Chains A and B, each alone.
Chain A
Amino acid sequence: MLELFAQGFANVFSPFCLVLMVLGTVIGIIFGAVPGLSSVMAIALFLPLTYGMDPGQGLSVLVALYIGSVSGGLVSAILLKIPGTPASIATCFDGHPMLARGEGAKALGAGVFYSFLGTIISVVALMFIAPQIAKVAINFGPHEYFAISIFSLMLIATLSSGSMVKGIFSGVLGLAFATVGIAPLDAVKRFTFGTVALSDGFDVLTVMIGLFAVSEVIKIAEVAKREKASDVAQVNMKVKGFGFTVKEFIQQIPNAIRAALVGLGIGILPGIGAGTSNLVAYTVNKNADKKHSDEYGKGYIGGIISSETANNASVGGAMIPLMTLGIPGDGVTALLLGAFMVHGIAPGPLLFQNYGPLVYTIFVACLVATVLMLVIEWYGMHIFAKVLKVPRHILLPIVFVLCVVGAFGLSSRVFDVWAVLIFGVIGYFFTIFKVPQAPFVIGFVLGSMAETNFRRGMMMSDDNFLDFFTKPIAAAFLIFTLVYFLYVVVKEIKKAQARKTASGQAV
């Protein structure tokens, strides 16, 4: 293991790779900080640039972008009072009051430092947990993979929105789009409408760019005319260390640990990640930290620590199912999966066996990117604050152009650009009808995996579906999925009835 580590270090510390990672961290933080730009966009834009690199370098850059962008949201959460990404919603609660009290630098310092701490904890967890899971997963066959992908889809469809029907529809539609092209096993052409372009199916990058970038531009168009210049708070950054004392650090250790565990756990679950974990950790700590419960929301440093530790701790968590099973839990990890695929590498248990050096390069890259994030975000704060002043009506069209170019660069055909547009329209309809986008993406990405393993499993079991239940792990996941589904349905029906009686009384 140490040898692999050394190799990883050697890969990451090549000048070319380091320069790219610095750049990735800076851009990541900017995409995190600017409301309307997101981690997914940052990675979608950079993915085409990594095609020509070797896999280790390419993934190192993407990891830097990922870590930077999850943390970057805190900059605008505190200075602009608007979270840059959903991952920093809870940071606003205490960030704003602290800023108003003149403790802006302390708030930013705590945010940056605990982002760092959260990432480090989760990456260390990733390094120890992932190889163990990979060892178990190496024995998984089609039955297990099918069960796990169905389990993931069910979780993401039900957790990511208020409406169960809309969440599931989003996932099913994603699966349906994944069926376009050549079918697994028997290579039958499906839904190609006689065209050559469609026989390869849609590329995941076009789906992501359309869903997340194009629909964002259109969303901006909805409100652009009314937009006011953003009011970026000025903060005197001349403070000792990160603005908080050693005593405060020691006091906050329990909060940080709870938040890191919440972040890690939520990160591992498919469907929910940093966007949920910051809020959950905030609530958990508010309840657990009895002495200071009342201070949360009034400018308490523990609030910022909860939110920022948890959101970054989800990064390492989300990497676990991706690297060990090849199952992405959200948009970002779906793109990282794509990044592996571009280089002909399938993440999964075999990754640890066949690509040991690559795995450790990624681990090292995570650690290095975390340190880079700490240094760059803290010392470059005034620059990031300036970027927030760039009006969105200038920034977003430029990002859109870069998206178009990225989609075109996939295989130099305009078909991919049209595909981006189609998914952009779908994404916009989703926002109108409040349908969550994440299940669509995961459905799309897991679609062929689920179908291939389903059909392979059925073949191995002589078309007897019950055979899936004779394998302990597959059965456990399937039964849990089923029970969980029934639980959600019952909950949904009860909710509807409660609403009915409530409105009945109102009348």
Chain B
Amino acid sequence: MKTQKMQDQIFGVIVLAVAAFYTVFTFLIPLKEGSDIINARTVPLLLAALMWVLGICQLVTARKADTKPLDKEARDLRTVLKTAVLIVVYIALFEPVGFLITTMVYLFLQFIFLTPADKKPNYLFYGIISLVVSLFVYTIFRYSLDIILPQGLITFF
């Protein structure tokens, strides 16, 4: 996304894509027999129509948008990507492996990923915090709120 114009155009296309998706699935909503003019599809149809209008408006206005290059706000995409993958894996393993292990590992790795470049990750400190937080949260939920978090592999605690 080098210019405001490009960014605006991409956004317009995304809006239209969402509109298309929503429209298609709106027409797949089953209707009850003999339903009124106003039925379960009415509001989704109105919303879909609005999305189309908004997407077109966005594309029309984007034509006149600034073509100067955007300030390079250095987005650290590597860290973002690592964080995103880590979160997805964490959630995917949340139930099968269990809260304690996944949370400990998630926290430990996430601390490392987010450590500022001018600092050295303090592995021991990170490890201790990860352990303490996971155990603390688990115990509170399990024993004082009666919410049983997924036990996964550790079934004795």
Contacts and interface: CB of A to CB of B under 8 A. Distances in A.
B45 to A, nearest CB: 10
B111 A397 contact: yes
Contacts of A135: none
B44 A165 contact: no
Contact of B91 (A48, A190, A392, A421): A421
A276 interface: no
Given A218-B83, A408-B94, A168 B147 contact: no
Contacts of A396: 114
Interface string B40-84: 101110010011001001100100101000000011100110111
Contacts, number: 168
Contact of A214 (B15, B40, B87): B87
A227 B74 CA distance: 13
Interface residues of A, number: 65
Contact of B43 (A220, A409, A420, A454): A454
Q: Identify which of A49, A394, A435, A499 gathers the most chain B CB atoms within 10 Å of its CB.
A: A394
A471 B82 CA distance: 56
28 contacts: A48-B145, A48-B147, A166-B11, A172-B50, A173-B18, A175-B47, A176-B44, A176-B47, A186-B39, A186-B40, A188-B40, A190-B40, A214-B87, A218-B80, A225-B114, A225-B116, A225-B117, A226-B117, A401-B137, A405-B147, A405-B149, A412-B147, A417-B91, A451-B43, A455-B42, A463-B38, A496-B64, A503-B66
Interface residues of B, number: 67
A326 to B, nearest CB: 19
Contact of B94 (A226, A417, A499): A417
Given A169-B51, A190-B44, A417-B94, A433 B11 contact: yes
B42 A414 contact: no
B31 A188 contact: yes
Interface centre among B38, B42, B90, B146, by most chain A C-beta atoms within 10 angstroms, is B38
Nearest to B36: A463
Given A398-B133, A405-B141, A408-B149, A224 B115 contact: yes
A414 B91 contact: yes
Contacts of B44: 176, 179, 190
A190 B39 CA distance: 12
A222 B76 contact: yes
9 shortest interchain CB distances as A-B pairs? A393-B114, A188-B40, A183-B40, A221-B83, A224-B114, A397-B110, A225-B117, A409-B147, A221-B79
